[in-house]
Chain A
Amino acid sequence: MSKASVIYDKFDRHSHAQGLKGHATHYCPGCGHGLAHKFLAEAIDELGVQDRTVAVSPVGCSVFLYYYFDVGNTQAAHGRAAVVALGHKFANPNSVVVSYQGDGDLASIGLAETIATAQLGAPITVIFINNAIYGMTGGQMAPTTLMGQSSSTSPTGRNISNGQPMKMAEIIAGLDGPIYVERVALYDAKQRIRAKKAIQKALRLQVEGRGYSFIEVLAECPTHLKMSPEETEMWVRDFMQPVFPLGVLKDMTVDPWFKPNPPSFDGNLILSLTGATYEHPVRHCEGFPTHLAPHDISLKLAGSGGDGAQTAAMLIARSAINEGFDATHIPSYGPESRGGTSYADVHVAAEEVLNPGSPNPQVLIAFNAPSLAKFGPSVRKGGVVIYDSTVVSEAPVLDPSIKVFPVPFTGIATDLGKAVVKNIVALGALQAATGIFPKETFLTAIRVALKDKCALVPLNEEAFAWGIKSVEALAQ
């Protein structure tokens, strides 16, 4: 048929269109790419989507697809065309994105991207040119090379030690994501008509926002199969086709669904997501708690995952910042998701926290015996240690200058009906033992943290009060 209008009038990008290169492709005589290009170009023309089409050129012989197609063009790294296509599709949902890839690109180096993109199912169109050989690099074994087929890297023929050919259409059709998968060929007039129709359908399903389509095209590579173009057509028919049977492997009816809204740039919406507040919190401190340190107080909270050490640390940091001080909190976890170690280093500074780590804290809150044993000896002279006396039966001997407060965090919390508030008991104990901030400072931070779970506020307030009471009882 006549040249599709999607094909450039002149191939300016092909060696600057010097001589015949302005109108001849770089493909070898008899190569299947030319036909696949032509059918794709005709489909774009017939669907009238040239103004929306973006083609992703892969690495391989079709690396220069962008020489020929007068559409938006992006050239991708080897194997990555499908994910580049996704990146464009999400940026520009109205686009019609085609990822055009060969067998090395799609079925070898880009296998992870190929499969994951297919399973994602976002509406893009993947055209897979399978010619059973590497073309651009010069005739090496492809993932789709047939058993017994010789290539420069399977010189005596592909055998079992090279693995068997990848049947990509079957693999892709076996996934839930794709809606349309067909394998076609180019070796005679009948197959070419089918190929053309399949490519057009695959594109149409995308234009309609229905889903991901995959067309595998069995193509000829006369140069590297070392045959005449006509012999190659027969080889595809007689040898490739039995291994890669033609036909529709998947064709689901899906209603159009891909209609993303344009992104929002609503500042107030963004602020509400961040939880930002507009009102300055009431301050309760009269000044920096210099009775603990002149400029910078170092704390460590240590326990197991689930003890709430990190939440308590965060509440201390928020309390400090609400009071106009600087604060930092650094969490540190063991490899376990639950039940492993969970430590938090907290600093509260009058001006600026300079050393956010707490290798020698002034205050240690220990939620279990190993934490107390590990960090107790690192507490500075004159420091404070508060630990959960429900779970620690025997406290280690510490420097006599250190004030030690055994408080039954877990016992109190359990009596209150919820063991998870033991960290709030600990905060109450911290307040009473150190006077780092007034009670109200902590309570404000707790209420703000629970602003979406108001029902839990009384329980937490009670836990906090019990922490204070326990320390006061120890003092008496």
Chain B
Amino acid sequence: MALKERPKPFLLPEYCKGCGRCIDACAKDCITLSDQVNSLTGLIPVVLDLTNCNACGLCMDACPEPYGLRPAEEGPHQKFELEDPAKLFGVRPSDAPEPVDVPAQVLPLAATEPLVIKGTYASAIGAILAGCRHVYGYPITPSTEGAELMARFLPKLDGTFLQAVSEVAAVNMMYGTAGAGLPTMTFTSSPGFSLMLEGVSYMIGSELPGVFVDVMRGGPGLGNIAPEQSDIKLACHGLGHGNTQAIVLAPSTPQEMLDLTILAFELSFKYRNPVVILSDGYLGQMTGKVKLPGTLRKPGVPKWAVYGDAEHRKNVISSIYLTESDLEAHNVHLNSKYEAMGSEARSEAYLCDDADVVLVACNTPARTAKGAVQELRHQGVKAGLFRPITLWPFPIDALKSALQGASRLVVVEASAGQLEDEVRLALSRAGVRDYPEIESVRRMGGILPQQDEITTRVLSRKGVLA
């Protein structure tokens, strides 16, 4: 008899919240609210009188709690109410083995002639060679060509380029792909990067890799589409809410757009953290000579990735730590990563060894500053250029060496002092008290400092010529 084979319900009162959904579901009026508060929960559970129960099961269907009304099976289950629930249900959600890293493969790439391509293309090709096949973005000048190239290339490589409804959506698509442990990136420009910062904070909190190429343009607000170094502050100190940091790379040639994009993916996975590439409107659009590397990468699957299989579903991608001490411990862990990232500081010192005047510049202004150094040397001034390649962490040790023997320090930038602030903060944090007064050559609004502006500034001070 089918009816008799169906199980009747049973209930541990501790797991009943007394919502009473089962009471109206029962056609036989077997269920009533208790008249006593359960001492463990402080709630009033239902009580079952199964005399008239025909085991229809509707009460169990109506119960919202997974461990609420459940089928009473035969035998030892009758003793459930006498046992400690923790013993009954085990302690671990899974006894599957721990997931392990599936390593990335490095494959050879045939040697070719240098490409003659613009910076955004170089970055896009770098990303493809770094193994990135998932790119999400929203068109914004002057970064869009990177996305356009991806839209052309990725379908031919069975990859995904998706134009998102907004930058907010794009960064969260990256979050989804990164959670599966795969390389992902976007191209954006200043206003778009602002919009993405919510997602960047979540990616840092959830420890997800991803590469953001921000082709900086003039601001604030809509500003214009000409080059400015307008997001140094944002990338180094304002990556959304909370205790966030990411490695910030500042290329200065199309070649570096490619090289640093490849590096960005590597660092992003090494630290499970986003990496920001700050380019500028000139560099994004600028065509130049770009040599390709001798290898490409086929990504693996990191052990922390989320998939549905028994091993990987132990992982969770989340930035919530509801218990204060858990969140504090998470931040301590993030801080230890940020500290470890200090070893990634990179820079280039050009003719700084004997320099009396050290220029500090990055991105396109660093090229111009290099030209200025050559011109100043030509005129007998011992000038040098210090170019930070990582803006965060700032290469302070290298700057200290570059400044040995320098009597002047000139920061050349296309912003209102955002690079200078990084220099000052790095010097301060490193406890350097004795450094030359900082002079500046600044342009804004989409105008880059020109070589003659730099040389004029340097030469304007008396006694500069030996």
Contact = CB atoms under 8 A, between A and B. Distances in A.
A123 interface: no
A358 to B, nearest CB: 11
B296 A318 contact: no
Contacts of A192: 61-62
Given A10-B91, A72-B307, A277-B112, A24 B15 contact: yes
B175 A13 contact: no
Most chain A CB within 10 A, of B66, B129, B450, is at B66
A113 B172 contact: yes
A74 interface: yes
Contact of B153 (A28, A222, A273): A273
Interface string A36-67: 01100100000001111110110000011010
Nearest to A44: B308
Interface in B170-202: 172-182, 184, 198-199, 202
Contacts of B159: 263-264
B55 interface: no
Contacts of B175: 74, 76-77, 80, 84, 87
B438 interface: no
A72 B315 contact: yes
A139 B414 CA distance: 49
Contacts of B448: 357
Contacts of B312: 72
A7 interface: yes
Contact of B308 (A53, A265, A280): A53
B97 interface: no
Nearest to B128: A270
Contacts of B199: 77, 80
A262 B134 CA distance: 12
For the complex, would chain A's binding face be called helix, strand, loop or mixed by DSSP majority? mixed
B287 A25 contact: no
Contacts of A476: none
Interface string A359-395: 1000000000000000000000000000000000000
Interface stretch (B264-272, B368-376, B403-411): B368-376
A2 B317 CA distance: 29
Contacts of B94: 70
Given A87-B174, A267-B109, A354 B288 contact: no
A48 to B, nearest CB: 12
Contacts of B202: 76-77
A133 to B, nearest CB: 17
B64 A32 contact: yes
Interface in A1-42: 1-4, 7-10, 12-13, 15-16, 19-20, 22-25, 27-35, 37-38, 41
Interface in B274-308: 282, 285-289, 292, 296-298, 306-308
A274 interface: yes
B61 A189 contact: yes
Given A52-B308, A265-B298, A330-B285, A30 B19 contact: yes
A239 interface: no
A95 B24 contact: no
Contact of B93 (A12, A25, A120, A222): A12
A64 B318 CA distance: 10
A75 B116 CA distance: 43
A15 B323 contact: yes
A332 B285 CA distance: 9
A373 B216 CA distance: 31
B437 interface: no
B47 to A, nearest CB: 16
Contacts of B371: 354-355
A10 B90 CA distance: 7
B321 to A, nearest CB: 11
A185 to B, nearest CB: 13
Nearest to B226: A332
Interface in A206-237: 222, 228-230, 233
Contacts of B179: 74, 84, 87-88, 91
A39 to B, nearest CB: 9
Given A83-B164, A90-B160, A356-B367, A8 B93 contact: yes
A354 B367 contact: yes
Contacts of B332: none
Contacts of B105: 265
A80 B172 contact: yes
A356 B282 contact: yes
A7 B202 CA distance: 26
Interface string B48-89: 000000000110111111110011000000000000011001
B17 A75 contact: no
B466 interface: no
Contacts of B67: 3, 23-24
Given A52-B308, A54-B307, 20 more contacts: A3-B67, A7-B66, A23-B15, A24-B41, A29-B19, A31-B19, A72-B308, A83-B173, A86-B176, A92-B307, A120-B162, A264-B158, A268-B110, A270-B296, A273-B157, A278-B113, A327-B288, A329-B118, A332-B285, A353-B367
The 3 A-B residue pairs with the shortest CB-CB distance in the complex, in nearest-first order: A87-B176, A34-B64, A354-B371
Interface of A: 1-4, 7-10, 12-13, 15-16, 19-20, 22-25, 27-35, 37-38, 41, 49-54, 56-57, 63-64, 66, 68, 70-77, 80, 83-92, 95-96, 112-113, 115-116, 120, 188-189, 192-193, 196, 222, 228-230, 233, 260-271, 273-281, 314, 317-318, 321, 326-332, 352-357, 359
27 contacts: A1-B57, A1-B71, A3-B66, A10-B86, A10-B93, A15-B322, A20-B85, A29-B43, A34-B63, A57-B318, A70-B94, A72-B308, A72-B315, A74-B175, A76-B175, A80-B175, A87-B178, A88-B177, A90-B173, A92-B307, A95-B308, A113-B165, A113-B172, A262-B158, A270-B125, A330-B287, A356-B286
